[in-house]
Structure 1
Amino acid sequence: MESLFNSKLIASKNTPESLHKYEVKISTLPKENGWSSMMTLRSYQHFWFHSFFLKGAMHAQDHFQAQPGDIFLCNFMKTGCTWLKALSFSIITRTHFDDSNTPIRNALPHDCIPMLEFGEYYSPTGPKIPLYGSHIPYTCLPKSIIHSRCKIVYLCRDPKDTFVSMWHYFKRMVETNKTGKEVSFVSIEEAIDLFCRGVSSFGPYWDHVLGYWKASLEHPERILFLRYEAMKEETESCVKKLAEFFGCPFSLEEERGGKIEEIIELCSFESLSNLEVNKSGKQVKKDGYMENSAYFRKGKVGDWRNYLSDEMGNRLDNIMEDKLTGSGFSFLNK
């Protein structure tokens, strides 16, 4: 990223030595096996975390200092964050890059926006793109984010499609591990049972959604709550809404010149998935690697029907609706 923005990535005291205290604390927390033998989950502040993400979340809680102009793109895993990041980055940097040289053409959208729980933040020197991504639940965010004037965009998605996308993603992650050990992975039936009990990375999903939903009702001026399905149906309207929320609305000249359509096309599933970096690139991880193509499986609404029975789908819908009762939000209403 330094080559893209002339800004320096810093670990902000996030060293093996400083992280040791978090590892010790994490080892004492309640645990569940999760979906794989390599994915132990720990319970922290009423949510389940994989240890790697939990260390980063704890570190962020202790050290991250949000600035008033920062923007956080928050969501549960596999709810459309790749698309949201691509759109948001393209909207905010549209005066920095033109369509032909935007970093989105040469880097995975996740590599263009640092993740809060990874512990890598931009230094204040040099040009700063004020975007961060995070899967951290609202109540677990650093206090500096909750109490500052910074803005948050939250994107949610039908829980059935979210679950199916997560199951495929983690299954692929397990298949590319390089530990040399045989790693098990649960069946989709076992996984949805755990998901329905709230046992999943950053879960329970309903509490994740509720945290941001309630916060958006209390602070609508700084928290924008979006649905993936609405973005699919009314993409242009959502892109304009994002630009206005970011404080950089499209001018009439930009609208007439087709800038909105240009960004939508660049960030479409078809366009992103066919970029060479996303077809052949890889993210190297501690226990293996993740092919960039894993972030572009289908992106369709209703794909869950190809993997879940009606009984499974109804069970998850009923649990979600029960948990959301009284909140004013429902996944069953558009």
Structure 2
Amino acid sequence: MPAESSKAPDDLPDYLLEDDLSQECKELIATLPAEPGWVANRLHQYQGFWHTTRHMQGVLNCQNHFQAHDSDILLITSPKSGTTWLKALTFALLNRKTYYPNPSPEPTQTDQSHPLLTTNPHVLVPFLELSLYLHKTKPDLSSFSSPRLLSSHLPYVSLPDSVKWSGCKIVYLCRNPKDIFVSLWHFTNNLRLEAKGSNSIEDSFDRFCRGVSLYGPFWDHMLEYHKASLERPDKIMFLRFEELKAEPVRVLKDVAEFIGCGFSREEENGNVVSDILRLCNFENLSNLEVNKNGKLFSGEENKTFFRRGEVGDWKNYLSSEMIQQLDIITQEKLQKHGLKF
């Protein structure tokens, strides 16, 4: 077995720390089922889904203290479902009047430099439970203009009551589970301490299929939002990563209409839609200096959020037995509810 890291706790990146928990959080964690984590030491099952020790505090703070506004827009995903891309697209969409989506890394003097050129999307559209509420019960949200654009990985059952019962909008993005798994496996191995070695694909696949993954089980995460979107289509928009890749113009226009900032005829006749898509495409974002060498406040390197962004990469990694097993799970859990990949 790989040797444990010799780093002192103060030297660890923030996402691996497990201190600064409230007494309430510590007492709750002691009662929850636990499994070894993919990156952190432990995952804890809370309200049917798995969270790291570190993030449990953020989940509780968010549930207990976040007050949604009717004008809020929440981007919600299962991890590794296209979160970074969705954040970039929606930020550019909402702010196109203030920052024209000029795709050039060196705008002219008459252009306002677009924030996406110098700031990672996860900073511009922060996570509720992983960022804003991770260390605070009452973070200062006064700098957010209306509509506030926020994000989360929280399952529907764990959303704050104010989100469920307010008029805020939710855009939910899901992805083929086979691609989710491969992306999650790469992502978590990039975050592990070198001394701990990598998780094997076989061990990670077993845990993923048992539902023991970040915010897993993936099938319950998708299914809850799918059902809620059918019951409240005016509140929850359910999207697939694959349709966003296949028909980006249509999907971007649909998202714009849903969140209340549809494109004008002049914008549609011009280049606004194509400029937003070009600004936010994988090649452009991944090659920006901030995303090649920058880090989030919690210690993750920005480049870990940009791997391939393609459909069907699972074919390069999964054995025929793995493919069959995951297809069976997907069919049993999701297909009867109209969810196919």
* Alignment-mate amino acid for residue 256 of structure 1: N
The alignment's TM-score, normalised by the length of structure 1, stands at: 0.88
Equivalent in the alignment of 2:321: 311
Contact 1:49 1:201 in 2 (8 A): yes
Alignment partner of 1:118 is 2:130: yes
TM-score normalized by structure 2? 0.86
Which among 181, 203, 219 is matched to residue 206 of structure 1? 219
1:214 Cα deviation after fit:
0.2
Helix, strand or coil at the partner of 1:22: helix
Counterpart amino acid of residue 111 in structure 1? V
User: How far did residue 322 of structure 1 move?
Assistant: 0.3
Aligned residue among 26, 30, 34 for 1:27: 30
Secondary structure at the counterpart of residue 304 of structure 1 = helix
- 1:93-132 → structure 2 map (5 Å cutoff): 93-98=95-100, 99=102, 100=107, 101-118=113-130, 120=132, 121-124=139-142, 127-132=145-150
Find the residue that maps to 1:290 and give its secondary structure. coil
Pairing partner for 2:312 from 292, 302, 309:
302
* Matched residue SS, 1:283: coil
When the two chains are superposed, the root-mean-square deviation of aligned CA atoms in Å is: 1.7
Q: After TM superposition, give the deviation of residue 291 of structure 1 in Å.
A: 1.5
Aligned length: 307
* 2:280 equivalent to 1:267: yes
Cα offset for 1:264? Answer: 0.2
1:194 alignment partner, one of 186, 203, 207: 207
Unpaired runs of 5+ residues, structure 2, are 1-18, 108-112, 133-138
- Runs of 4+ in structure 1 displaced over 4 angstroms? none
**Match 2:290 to one of 234, 254, 277:** 277
Match of 1:41 in 2: 43
**How far 1:97 moved relative to its partner?**
1.3
Match of 1:65 in 2: 67
SS at structure 2 position matched to 1:272 = helix
CA distance in 2, matches of 1:223, 1:239: 15
Who is 1:320 aligned against?
330
Q: How far apart, in 1, do the equivalents of 2:24 and 2:246 lie?
A: 46
* Percentage of matched positions with identical amino acids: 46
| 2:165 pairs with 1:162 | no
AA matched with 2:24: K
Q: Is the Cα–Cα contact under 8 Å of residues 35 and 185 in structure 1 kept in the other structure?
A: no
Aligned twin of 2:158: 140
Amino acid at match of 1:139: V
Query: 1-side partners of 2:294 and 2:37: how far apart?
Result: 28
* Shift in Å, 1:219: 0.3
For structure 1, list consecutive stretches of 5 or more residues without a partner in the other structure.
Answer: 1-15, 177-181
1:13-36: CA deviations, max 9, x gaps? xxx878332133213311001324
**Of 94-103 and 80-89, the range deviating more from structure 2:** 94-103
Q: In the alignment, is residue 55 of structure 1 matched against residue 73 of structure 2?
A: no
Q: Is the 8 A contact 2:21 2:57 kept in 1?
A: no
Structure 2 counterpart SS, 1:32: strand
Task: Give the residue type in structure 2 aligned to 1:309.
Answer: S
Aligned to 2:12: none
Shift of 1:184: 4.4
The alpha-carbon distance between structure 1 residues 45 and 258, as it changes in their structure 2 partners (threshold 3 A), is: same
